[in-house]
Amino acid sequence: MADIKSLDDLKSAVSGAASPAAAEVAAAPREPKRDALGRSYATGKRKDAVARVWVKPGSGKVVVNGKEMAAYFARPVLQMILRQPFQIANVEGQFDVYATVAGGGLSGQAGAVKHGISKALQLYEPSLRGALKAAGFLTRDSRVVERKKYGKAKARRSFQFSKR
Protein backbone atom coordinates (compact mmCIF):
# COMPACT_ATOMS: atom_id res chain seq x y z
CA MET A 1 0.00 0.00 0.00
CA ALA A 2 1.08 3.62 -0.54
CA ASP A 3 2.88 5.62 2.14
CA ILE A 4 0.18 7.11 4.39
CA LYS A 5 1.53 9.93 6.53
CA SER A 6 -1.60 11.84 7.48
CA LEU A 7 -5.34 11.49 7.89
CA ASP A 8 -5.93 13.25 4.54
CA ASP A 9 -3.70 10.70 2.79
CA LEU A 10 -5.73 7.93 4.40
CA LYS A 11 -9.04 9.47 3.32
CA SER A 12 -7.87 9.91 -0.29
CA ALA A 13 -6.53 6.35 -0.36
CA VAL A 14 -9.81 4.95 0.96
CA SER A 15 -12.03 7.05 -1.32
CA GLY A 16 -9.90 6.25 -4.36
CA ALA A 17 -9.31 9.88 -5.31
CA ALA A 18 -5.98 10.11 -7.12
CA SER A 19 -5.50 13.82 -6.60
CA PRO A 20 -7.32 17.00 -5.55
CA ALA A 21 -7.64 17.91 -9.26
CA ALA A 22 -9.83 14.84 -9.81
CA ALA A 23 -12.15 15.97 -7.01
CA GLU A 24 -12.50 19.44 -8.58
CA VAL A 25 -13.53 17.95 -11.93
CA ALA A 26 -16.25 15.87 -10.23
CA ALA A 27 -17.68 18.91 -8.40
CA ALA A 28 -17.62 21.27 -11.38
CA PRO A 29 -20.39 23.91 -11.16
CA ARG A 30 -23.29 23.52 -13.53
CA GLU A 31 -23.52 25.93 -16.46
CA PRO A 32 -26.81 27.71 -17.28
CA LYS A 33 -28.49 26.39 -20.45
CA ARG A 34 -30.17 29.20 -22.42
CA ASP A 35 -31.10 29.62 -26.08
CA ALA A 36 -30.37 32.63 -28.33
CA LEU A 37 -33.45 34.44 -26.96
CA GLY A 38 -32.32 34.03 -23.34
CA ARG A 39 -34.85 31.31 -22.51
CA SER A 40 -34.47 27.91 -20.88
CA TYR A 41 -36.54 24.98 -22.13
CA ALA A 42 -37.67 21.85 -20.31
CA THR A 43 -40.25 19.10 -20.68
CA GLY A 44 -42.49 18.24 -17.74
CA LYS A 45 -44.60 15.12 -17.38
CA ARG A 46 -47.37 13.93 -15.07
CA LYS A 47 -49.82 11.04 -15.67
CA ASP A 48 -50.62 11.24 -19.42
CA ALA A 49 -49.87 14.97 -19.72
CA VAL A 50 -46.71 16.34 -21.36
CA ALA A 51 -45.79 20.03 -21.06
CA ARG A 52 -43.20 21.94 -23.07
CA VAL A 53 -42.07 24.91 -20.97
CA TRP A 54 -39.96 27.98 -21.78
CA VAL A 55 -38.78 30.25 -18.94
CA LYS A 56 -37.26 33.72 -19.38
CA PRO A 57 -36.76 36.77 -17.14
CA GLY A 58 -39.86 38.95 -16.94
CA SER A 59 -42.74 40.15 -14.83
CA GLY A 60 -44.17 36.79 -13.72
CA LYS A 61 -46.68 36.24 -16.55
CA VAL A 62 -47.66 32.60 -17.12
CA VAL A 63 -49.20 31.62 -20.49
CA VAL A 64 -50.46 28.05 -21.00
CA ASN A 65 -51.63 27.01 -24.49
CA GLY A 66 -52.01 30.67 -25.49
CA LYS A 67 -54.20 31.58 -22.48
CA GLU A 68 -53.40 33.28 -19.19
CA MET A 69 -52.88 30.87 -16.29
CA ALA A 70 -56.11 32.01 -14.57
CA ALA A 71 -58.13 31.39 -17.74
CA TYR A 72 -56.65 27.93 -18.50
CA PHE A 73 -56.47 26.64 -14.92
CA ALA A 74 -59.63 28.13 -13.39
CA ARG A 75 -59.39 26.27 -10.07
CA PRO A 76 -57.28 28.09 -7.44
CA VAL A 77 -55.64 24.80 -6.39
CA LEU A 78 -54.21 24.29 -9.89
CA GLN A 79 -52.93 27.88 -9.97
CA MET A 80 -51.28 27.29 -6.59
CA ILE A 81 -49.54 24.19 -8.00
CA LEU A 82 -48.04 26.29 -10.81
CA ARG A 83 -46.79 28.95 -8.36
CA GLN A 84 -45.04 26.45 -6.04
CA PRO A 85 -41.67 26.26 -7.88
CA PHE A 86 -41.32 30.06 -7.82
CA GLN A 87 -42.19 30.23 -4.10
CA ILE A 88 -39.72 27.48 -3.19
CA ALA A 89 -36.94 29.09 -5.28
CA ASN A 90 -37.87 32.54 -3.91
CA VAL A 91 -38.11 34.11 -7.41
CA GLU A 92 -41.82 35.03 -7.58
CA GLY A 93 -42.59 37.61 -10.28
CA GLN A 94 -39.11 37.40 -11.82
CA PHE A 95 -39.75 34.96 -14.68
CA ASP A 96 -42.24 34.72 -17.55
CA VAL A 97 -43.43 31.25 -18.50
CA TYR A 98 -44.74 30.08 -21.87
CA ALA A 99 -46.03 26.50 -21.86
CA THR A 100 -47.82 24.18 -24.24
CA VAL A 101 -49.39 21.13 -22.65
CA ALA A 102 -51.24 18.16 -24.16
CA GLY A 103 -52.81 14.95 -22.90
CA GLY A 104 -54.44 13.97 -19.64
CA GLY A 105 -56.79 16.09 -17.57
CA LEU A 106 -56.37 19.49 -15.95
CA SER A 107 -54.82 18.14 -12.76
CA GLY A 108 -52.22 16.10 -14.65
CA GLN A 109 -51.53 19.05 -16.94
CA ALA A 110 -50.94 21.35 -13.95
CA GLY A 111 -48.50 18.81 -12.51
CA ALA A 112 -46.72 18.53 -15.87
CA VAL A 113 -46.35 22.32 -16.17
CA LYS A 114 -45.06 22.48 -12.56
CA HIS A 115 -42.47 19.80 -13.36
CA GLY A 116 -41.45 21.64 -16.54
CA ILE A 117 -41.17 25.02 -14.76
CA SER A 118 -38.99 23.46 -12.06
CA LYS A 119 -36.66 21.83 -14.58
CA ALA A 120 -36.44 24.99 -16.72
CA LEU A 121 -35.73 27.19 -13.67
CA GLN A 122 -32.83 25.02 -12.56
CA LEU A 123 -31.46 25.02 -16.13
CA TYR A 124 -31.73 28.82 -16.29
CA GLU A 125 -30.23 29.38 -12.82
CA PRO A 126 -28.33 26.29 -11.54
CA SER A 127 -28.10 27.77 -8.01
CA LEU A 128 -31.87 27.14 -7.62
CA ARG A 129 -31.39 23.37 -8.07
CA GLY A 130 -30.86 22.60 -4.38
CA ALA A 131 -34.12 24.14 -3.20
CA LEU A 132 -36.16 22.63 -6.05
CA LYS A 133 -34.63 19.18 -5.57
CA ALA A 134 -35.18 19.26 -1.80
CA ALA A 135 -38.86 20.04 -2.42
CA GLY A 136 -39.07 17.08 -4.85
CA PHE A 137 -40.06 19.20 -7.86
CA LEU A 138 -37.36 17.85 -10.20
CA THR A 139 -38.54 14.24 -9.84
CA ARG A 140 -41.16 13.05 -12.31
CA ASP A 141 -44.20 11.71 -10.44
CA SER A 142 -44.34 8.19 -11.92
CA ARG A 143 -47.83 7.32 -10.69
CA VAL A 144 -50.08 6.53 -13.66
CA VAL A 145 -53.48 4.86 -14.07
CA GLU A 146 -53.30 1.08 -13.75
CA ARG A 147 -54.46 -0.85 -16.82
CA LYS A 148 -57.62 -2.98 -16.86
CA LYS A 149 -57.05 -6.72 -16.65
CA TYR A 150 -59.10 -9.39 -18.37
CA GLY A 151 -61.59 -11.18 -16.12
CA LYS A 152 -61.98 -8.01 -14.03
CA ALA A 153 -64.55 -5.22 -14.16
CA LYS A 154 -61.83 -2.56 -13.76
CA ALA A 155 -58.12 -2.70 -12.95
CA ARG A 156 -58.68 -4.63 -9.72
CA ARG A 157 -62.44 -4.79 -9.11
CA SER A 158 -63.99 -8.22 -9.66
CA PHE A 159 -67.42 -8.82 -11.10
CA GLN A 160 -70.17 -9.21 -8.51
CA PHE A 161 -70.29 -12.69 -7.01
CA SER A 162 -73.59 -14.57 -7.21
CA LYS A 163 -74.01 -17.78 -5.28
CA ARG A 164 -77.25 -18.70 -7.13
- Bridge-based pairing state of the strands 62-64 and 67-68: antiparallel
> What local confidence, expressed as pLDDT, does residue 29 receive?
82
Per-residue b or e along 93-123, where b marks 16 or more CB atoms closer than 10 Å to that residue's CB: eebbbbbebeebeebbbbbbbbbbbbbbbbb
Mind listing the pLDDT tens digit for each residue in 135-153? 999 999 999 999 999 999 9
Which residue ranges make up each domain of the chain? 40-134
Percentage of residues in the chain having pLDDT higher than 70: 84
For domain 40-134, give the CATH number: 3.30.230.10
Helix locations, the chain, DSSP H: 7-15, 20-26, 69-72, 76-89, 106-124, 129-134
The pTM of the full predicted model, rounded to 2 decimals, is 0.79
Is the distance from CB of 134 to CB of 140 less than 8 angstroms?
Answer: no
Give the C-alpha separation, 43 to 101, whole Å. Answer: 10
pLDDT of 7 above 90: no
Least confident window among 34-38, 119-123, 154-158: 34-38
Mind listing the pLDDT tens digit for each residue in 30-71? 888 889 899 999 999 999 999 999 999 999 999 999 999 999
Average pLDDT score over residue span 73-77: 96
